[in-house]
Amino acid sequence: MGQATIVDSHCHLDFPDFDNERPEIIARALEAGVERMVTICTRLRNEPAVRAIAEANPQVFYAAGTHPMSAAEEPLTSVDELIALSKHPKFVGIGETGLDYYYTAESADIQKKSLRIHIAAARETKLPLIIHARAADDDMARILAEEYANGAYTCVMHCFSSSPALGRAALDLGFYLSMSGIATFPKSQEVRDIFASAPLDRILVETDSPYLAPKPKRGKRNEPAYSVHTAAVGAELFGLSYDDFARQTTANFDRLFWKAAL
């Protein structure tokens, strides 16, 4: 593997899957060439625990929000609450938020309300919005565009595996697409095609660990170190060396997640 380092822009280091070996997980990531990680809080009541992981590890930053699948179960956050959290020096993004009609279509209305609150906080703080979108492409594209018309903000479509239309809508707004292990799966040619046709300066790499381990680790618990396998596929898609792709996606990360930039 090349010498250039990469960033895992989206993982869940607080999840119980990692409870017994969190220091080892982080050490393996650094050894593999993953120099920084953003761990994502999906329920705001867990924010103190996620923050503690970032505070204890120089290479770990964090973001927080209410995941759309939890939107009906959690108290609705406020713009002020998210802005207050964002004051922490290692808090680098708003979310993950978004829409998920695959598992939780019945809570669509509260998901939309929660999403717009997170967008307002991203606009106010100038921190990137982190979007989860599943089976909600039309509403997702419409709300992102409507809100952008109300005032610019930055955004990454995390673990992007939606339609070409949603990918194009996001890119047209100047947003970023993040490549997860899904891009390495044999049946994911459409996803690979979307990434290959996107501007190289708008691509990030992530694991979404402990989920979605890339080939050749598929079926195992995912961890940040495995983002190198996804980056290798990304390099192939763009016809680049691993090092060149790693340097470009790291530069992209630093531009978007400016509070975590080296």
Helix (H) / strand (E) containing 230: helix 227-237
The tens-digit pLDDT sequence of the chain (262 residues) is 457 999 999 999 999 999 999 999 999 999 999 999 999 999 999 999 999 999 999 999 999 999 999 999 999 999 999 999 999 999 999 999 999 999 999 999 999 999 999 999 999 999 999 999 999 999 999 999 999 999 999 999 999 999 999 999 999 999 999 999 999 999 999 999 999 999 999 999 999 999 999 999 999 999 999 999 999 999 999 999 999 999 999 999 999 999 999 8
pLDDT at residue 262, rounded to an integer:
85
pLDDT at residue 3, rounded to an integer:
79
> How would DSSP label each residue in 151-191?
S---EEETT--S-HHHHHHHHHTT-EEEE-GGGGSTT-HHH
| Count of CA atoms in the C-beta half-sphere (13 A) of 88 | 19
**Residue 51: φ, ψ to 5°:** -60, -40
pLDDT at residue 30, rounded to an integer:
98
What domains are defined for the chain?
Answer: 6-260 (3.20.20.140)
Residue indicated by tokens 């982190």? 130
CA distances from 257 to 65, 122, 125 (A): 16, 12, 12
Query: Which residue in 244, 155, 160 sits closest to 205, CA to CA?
Result: 160
**Residue 167: φ, ψ to 5°:** -60, -45
CA distances from 216 to 94, 134, 228 (A): 31, 25, 11
Report yes or no: 77 and 114 within 8 Å, Cβ to Cβ. yes
Q: What is the pTM of this model?
A: 0.97
Strands 60-64 and 34-41: parallel
CA distance 166 to 169: 5
Report yes or no: 7 and 248 within 8 Å, Cβ to Cβ. no
